[in-house]
A and B are shown apart, each in its own frame.
Chain A
Amino acid sequence: MTAVTATPPRDETGRLRAILPKLAPFAGILAAAMILPFVSNDYWALIGTRAAIYWVLVSGLNLIVGFAGHLAIGYVALLTLGAYTTSVLAAGNVLTAVEPFAALAIAGCVGAVFGVIVGLPALRLRTFYFAMSTLGFATIVTQIALAWQSVTGGGIGIAGPEFPSPFNTAWGYYYLCVAFAAICTWLSANVAHSRFGRALIAIRDAEVAAEATGISKPRMLVAIFLLAGGLAAIAGGLFASLQTYITPDAFTFDLSILFFIAILIGGRGSILGPMLGTIILTILPEIAAPLAAWSTFLYAVLLLVIVLVMPGGIAALLDFQNRRPLASNRAIVPRPVALAECMGRNAGNSVLSLRGVTLSFGNVRAIDNLDLDVRPGEIHGLIGPNGSGKTTTLNVISGYYVAKAGTIRLGDKLLPQGRPTLRARHGIARTFQTPRLIGEASVLKNIMIGGTIEGRASFVEALLALPRNRRDERTLNEKARALLAVVGLETLAEIRADRLQHSELRFIEIARALMLEPDFLLLDEPAAGLSGDEIERLAALIIAISRRGTGLLLVEHHADLIFDICDSVTVLNLGRVLAAGTPAEIRVHKEVVSAYLGG
């Protein structure tokens, strides 16, 4: 009852007050950009325009590199593609000439398509491989630009598009590019602060957990590859116009490095940081003119320093909130009673049932012909010695492993095996033996991840911050705060998850799983590493969850906890069911006592 009132839903002005300090730096940069023409000369117009154009590209690339964590190094390829597409269309040397703005829009679409093509390998390839494949693409685009003379003019080049008045003066064009940059900032911030942005970070830092919450990596990545490719190509069109004349030489690999390093200097998962990084890297060679030839060398040194000395980048430097020390005598005091207010009652009565499930790793039978039933509202304990197949059973249920034989049913529906991302939609949530959370995200965001599939707004709605997305955000935020209060950690909502203690992470994982209002909740050793008091509170919380009609499957080593709260218990040994029944029956079961409980 008190839980929800403890964190009252903020009204609009309160929300504004919370956001304002975060907006201030952006407003400051925009203001500085607006007054630049009045305090400097055309030379700075060129540099300012260049920085704005680079940011148009980097704002999209940031979602790939900084948020999704894919090391796309060769993004100059899409800049080149956009520059040539815009120039060729505007010059009309292939088709009839089109308006520069129309050409820019078409280039954006072409760029979006190629963004996906360049990005596709990321769906299957790991870090270094993906970096290499983008690198290869960058080399090829330049070679094609050189060779396809009839269209691109080869080494001689082609004139860039000229935008109509008032954008044909140095400062007029500068304002146009700043406007593009401002819009891109807004778009990328919208994505970053929506469930899509959080899902990207989840895929980056906790991919397995992201799958369990129903986040589909391919769909997420394709969406941002479209966006980043489109923005990069538009940046290319603007770049071509700024250059007035483009040759393949204009698109050196050094540019790619600039984009990439700007993001890393700025810091992962931030927008302000990479923006400052882009501005700094664009200006740096200009104010140190003798060093211009060494600029790429400087970037490389910066990259090395960043990686070795401050992996968080500028964003970590600016993150004052997370430098305040946390109270050291924190206690986790869950309020299970409040659960009723934020979690609907599971009215269904379908049973999660495993029949004859068998799985082997090589010659080892990890699970052998396992039958198991978890009923709604029931707490089912799964115990057994180490290596008896408990966690493996959870992994089969959540779809990480494909059983060699046997079926998993939910009511009369057959659950498809090996598809972890589908489990959340079936109302099955879980926690992990070692908590899998996003260390760099706040506790609140971590919990909101759990509700990702509940969002109704599409990617485009999130991109444009349309009402439906704002509604999603409000619902998810309120629900996450309420659940945070239920597990008793509401004071830590804004703290980075990697600063918390192990026991707190366990409760955060439970809160994240509860975001789904699951029909079935699989808990993998939730009491491991908890103190005696904490285990008691955990027990009360688990019981409260089961009262909402949720069926719980509890893998645990604390025999006391199992016998105290479980309605039925299955004992595994070497992958086989050794015994099954009520706690009272198991406690006196001869084989169980001799094999496992001792005594």
Chain B
Amino acid sequence: MFASIIASGLAAGAIYALVGITYNTMFSTSRVMSFTAGQLAMLGGVFGSLFTLKLGLPVMAGFLLTLAGCAIIGIITEFVAVRPVLKSLDQHLYVLSTLAVALMIQQVAAIKWGTEPQPFPRLIGLGSGIWDEKFWLPVVACVVTIVALEYLYRRTLVGRAFLAIAEDNFAARAFGLPERNLRVASYALAGIIGGVAGFSSGELLLAFFANGALLNFYGFVPVALGGLGNNRGAVIGGLALGLFQQAANFLVGGIFSSVAVFALFIMVLLAKPQGLFGLSTARRV
């Protein structure tokens, strides 16, 4: 049982971490927390199943099409729900506009795809038991994503521009960085990361429209605990959350594991609203 807890805990944790990174990627360039993060991961599963099972495309082609689809959804989010409300960030209208877009995505998925979980194809066919690919694929996807992001942020010009904007939007614009295009790019990137999360976890979570809302919450917990925009915090928080949740799941049962996660989330946030690794809040007066 211990091995199962570790396997499923790491798998779930990796998915939560990826959704958390999706949140952070959007947040870093726009200061907006978007309700679409979980929906992007849900779409990763739905698109994956659609392209590979329903349309019978090869896995690789299905994967690339899925990422492209999620990237487009990410870009649409930026245009429809983020750009118009950035002027008045302090009014927090983005909470409502991104919620609206997330609901639309979820509703279209429910109606067009169906409200029942649908199967996801076996991608490679490697491993069984606790070494089944459905457990290690999300972990691999998470590691690859982190490495790729590190490479992007540290070694490429675009990545450094992302960091600059995340660090100080005004200064970055003063230096002539194309802030708007970079923001669109970051939303596309967030879509891709969400798509990776959904595609790699398809065998574990299936192609199910309700995964969006679920991942929205479980993906936000590591972000909140780790501090906004802090990818390292999101990964540590995500893995810890996955292990904690699966341990509770195996030891006391599914319902109480959700209650335990929720209670933990609320208590940590009440004690440290800025998250465990976050910085304290700005001056008010």
Which residues of A are at the interface with B, using a C-beta cutoff of 8 A? 71, 73, 120-121, 124-129, 131-133, 135-137, 139-140, 143-144, 146-147, 207-208, 253, 257, 264, 293-294, 296-297, 299-301, 303-304, 306-308, 311, 395, 400-401
Evaluate contact between B100 and A300: CB separation under 8 angstroms.
yes
- Over the window 215-244 of chain B, the binary record of Cβ atoms lying under 8 Å from chain A Cβ atoms (1 yes, 0 no) is 011001000100000000000000000000
Indicate if B108 sits at the interface (CB-CB under 8 A).
yes
Point out the residue from A121, A143, A294, A400 that lies within 8 Å of B284, measured CB to CB. Answer: A400
Evaluate contact between A126 and B224: CB separation under 8 angstroms.
no
Evaluate contact between A395 and B285: CB separation under 8 angstroms.
yes
User: What are 16 pairs between A and B in contact, CB < 8 Å?
Assistant: A121-B269, A124-B269, A126-B273, A127-B95, A128-B92, A131-B99, A135-B213, A139-B214, A139-B258, A296-B107, A300-B100, A303-B100, A303-B103, A304-B81, A304-B100, A308-B84
Which residues of B have CB within 8 Å of A264? 96
Which residues of A have CB within 8 Å of B61? none
Which residues of A have CB within 8 Å of B284? 207-208, 400
- Over the window 47-85 of chain B, the binary record of Cβ atoms lying under 8 Å from chain A Cβ atoms (1 yes, 0 no) is 000000000000000000000000000000000110011
Known pairs A126-B273, A139-B258, A297-B104 / 13 extra A-B pairs, C-beta < 8 Å: A128-B95, A129-B224, A132-B216, A133-B265, A135-B213, A139-B217, A296-B103, A297-B103, A303-B96, A304-B101, A307-B96, A308-B85, A308-B97
Question: Using a CB-CB cutoff of 8 Å, which residues 243-285 of chain B contact chain A?
Answer: 253-255, 258-259, 262, 265-266, 269-270, 273, 284-285
Question: Using a CB-CB cutoff of 8 Å, which residues 114-154 of chain B contact chain A?
Answer: none
Which residues of B have CB within 8 Å of A71? 92, 95-96
Which residues of A have CB within 8 Å of B214? 139
Which residues of B have CB within 8 Å of A120? 266, 270
Interface residues on B, range: 35 or more
How near does chain A come to B219, taking the closest CB pair, in angstroms? 10
Q: Which residue in chain A gives the minimum CB-CB distance to B104? A: A300
Point out the residue from A73, A124, A146, A293 that lies within 8 Å of B99, measured CB to CB. Answer: A73
A140-B258, A308-B84, A308-B85 are contacts. A297–B108 as well, Cβ < 8 Å? yes
A307-B85, A395-B285 are contacts. A129–B104 as well, Cβ < 8 Å? no
Evaluate contact between B84 and A300: CB separation under 8 angstroms.
no
Which residues of A have CB within 8 Å of B285? 208, 395, 400-401
Point out the residue from B111, B217, B258 that lies within 8 Å of A293, measured CB to CB. Answer: B111
How near does chain B come to A288, taking the closest CB pair, in angstroms? 15
Indicate if B43 sits at the interface (CB-CB under 8 A).
no
Complex CA gap A106/B60 in Å reads: 59
A-B complex: 7 closest residue pairs judged by Cβ atoms: A300-B103, A304-B100, A297-B107, A147-B255, A303-B100, A127-B92, A128-B33
Which residues of B have CB within 8 Å of A73? 99
Evaluate contact between B103 and A299: CB separation under 8 angstroms.
yes
Evaluate contact between A303 and B99: CB separation under 8 angstroms.
yes
Q: Which residue in chain B gives the minimum CB-CB distance to A436? A: B285
Indicate if B93 sits at the interface (CB-CB under 8 A).
yes
Evaluate contact between A301 and B104: CB separation under 8 angstroms.
yes
How near does chain B come to A559, taking the closest CB pair, in angstroms? 25
Complex CA gap A112/B238 in Å reads: 34
Which residues of A have CB within 8 Å of B224? 129, 132
How near does chain A come to B235, taking the closest CB pair, in angstroms? 19
How near does chain A come to B105, taking the closest CB pair, in angstroms? 9
Name, among B80, B255, B266, B284, the residue most crowded by chain A CB atoms within 10 Å (CB to CB). B266
Which residues of B have CB within 8 Å of A303? 96-97, 99-100, 103
Which residues of B have CB within 8 Å of A135? 213, 216-217
Complex CA gap A74/B112 in Å reads: 25
Which residues of A have CB within 8 Å of B213? 135, 139, 253
Complex CA gap A125/B269 in Å reads: 7
Which residues of A have CB within 8 Å of B217? 132, 135-136, 139
Which residues of B have CB within 8 Å of A128? 33, 92, 95
Complex CA gap A120/B273 in Å reads: 13
Complex CA gap A73/B220 in Å reads: 16
